[in-house]
Amino acid sequence: MDTYISNSPAETFQLGREWAREAEPGWVIGLNGELGAGKTQLVKGLADGMGVEETVTSPTFVLFHQYNGERMPLFHLDLYRLRTPEAVAGAGLDAFLPSPDGVTVVEWIGHWIGWDKPAQADRSDASAVTFPGRLRLVWFEDTGETCREITHDDFGA
């Protein structure tokens, strides 16, 4: 498990840009954190690093956005309004998890897989979340007005 301290939205954006350099098709990046924690800011940086020219916004009310980057597509899902795995499946969003030709980012992934906090992501129980590619689970913790502790753990290939 790795931890990054972000002292501003610009640093969170930059972290997303850094992750974009290593992103590969089939990756799923699952984001957990309270409203305003910086999840969408990280996605904006990831999109920028992938060469997306469109304005990136949170898909809270539409549930899903697709952006076409220079290297590959970016699929951005927001499960805030879908509180259970059954609701995610009922909305047809599980079809995008993962996307073999792009990167999928899921805000509020804890609503789908049940892991809302780092302590719940027990590697011995990782079989509960099966992806053919890499899953990066990310947790945002507000530690000040603009400061965030961003912890992530990678599962799978």
> pLDDT tens across 61-117, in order?
778 889 998 989 999 998 888 877 788 778 887 776 666 789 999 998 887 776 555
pLDDT value at residue 123: 45
pLDDT value at residue 22: 93
Domain ranges of the chain: 1-95+102-115
Of 80, 75, 84, whose CA–CA distance to 25 is shortest? 75
Give the three-class secondary structure for 30: strand
pLDDT value at residue 8: 95
> Does CATH place domain 1-95+102-115 in 3.40.50.300?
yes
Q: How far is CA 4 from CA 7, 43, 81, 133, 151, in A?
A: 10, 16, 28, 23, 6
